[in-house]
A and B are shown apart, each in its own frame.
Chain A
Amino acid sequence: MGTMANAESYILAIGTKKGLWLAHSTDRKEWSLTGPHFLMSEIPSIGIDTRGDSPRIMVGVRSEHWGPTVAHSDDLGATWTEPEQGAISFPEGTEAALERIWQIYPDAESRPGVVWAGCEPISVWKSTDGGEHFELNRGLWDHPHRSEWGAGYGGAAAHSIVVDPSGEKVHIAMSTGGVYRSLDGGASWEARNKGISAYFMPDPNPEFGQCVHKIAADAAVDGRLYAQNHHGVYRTDDDGENWESIAEGLPADFGFVMLTHPRRSGTAWVVPLKADGERIPPDGRLAVHRTDDAGGTWKRLETGLPDHEYNSVLRDAASVDTAEPVGVYFGTRGGEVYASADEGESFTEVVSHLPDVLCVRAAVVSGAAMPAFSA
Chain B
Amino acid sequence: MPDITVVLPSVLQPLAGGQSLLTAPADGAVTVAALLDAVTGGYPVLARRIRDETGTLRRYVNIYVNGEEVRRLKGLETEVSAGQEVLIIQSVAGG
List residues of chain A with CB under 8 Å of any chain B CB. Answer: 40, 63-67, 69, 82, 84-86, 89-90, 95-98
Which residues of chain A are near B61, meaning CB under 8 Å?
A: 65-66
Interface segment out of the listed B21-29, B31-39, B46-54? B46-54
Task: Tell me whether A90 and B54 are in contact in the complex, defined as CB-CB below 8 angstroms, given that A64-B93, A66-B49, A82-B45 are known contacts.
Answer: yes
B78 interface contact, C-beta 8 A: no
A64 and B45 within 8 A (CB) = no
Task: Give the residue among A82, A90, A97 with the most B Cβ atoms within 10 A.
Answer: A97
B94 and A97 within 8 A (CB) = no
Task: Give the residue among B12, B48, B50, B61 with the most A Cβ atoms within 10 A.
Answer: B48
CA distance A205 to B48 in the complex (A): 42
Chain B 54-95 against A: per-residue CB contact (8 Å), 1 yes, 0 no?
Answer: 101010110000000000000000000000000000110110
- Pairs across A and B, CB under 8 Å, 29 listed: A63-B49, A64-B93, A64-B94, A65-B58, A65-B61, A65-B90, A65-B91, A65-B93, A66-B48, A66-B49, A66-B50, A66-B61, A67-B48, A67-B52, A69-B45, A82-B45, A84-B44, A84-B45, A86-B44, A86-B48, A86-B53, A89-B48, A89-B53, A90-B53, A95-B54, A96-B54, A97-B53, A97-B54, A97-B56
Question: Chain A at the B interface: mostly helix, strand, loop or mixed?
Answer: loop
Which residues of chain B are near A40, meaning CB under 8 Å?
A: 94
CA distance A67 to B50 in the complex (A): 8
Which residues of chain A are near B52, meaning CB under 8 Å?
A: 67, 97-98
Which residues of chain B are near A64, meaning CB under 8 Å?
A: 60, 93-94
Q: How distant is B42 from chain A, measured CB to nearest CB, in Å? A: 10
Which residues of chain B are near A89, meaning CB under 8 Å?
A: 48, 53
B44 and A85 within 8 A (CB) = yes
CA distance A67 to B52 in the complex (A): 8
CA distance A67 to B48 in the complex (A): 8
Residue of B nearest to A97 (CB): B52
B60 and A65 within 8 A (CB) = yes
Which residues of chain B are near A86, meaning CB under 8 Å?
A: 44-45, 48, 53
Which residues of chain A are near B50, meaning CB under 8 Å?
A: 66
Which residues of chain A are near B54, meaning CB under 8 Å?
A: 90, 95-97
Residue of B nearest to A67 (CB): B58
Which residues of chain A are near B91, meaning CB under 8 Å?
A: 65
Residue of A nearest to B62 (CB): A65
Which residues of chain B are near A65, meaning CB under 8 Å?
A: 49, 58, 60-61, 90-91, 93-94
Which residues of chain A are near B44, meaning CB under 8 Å?
A: 84-86
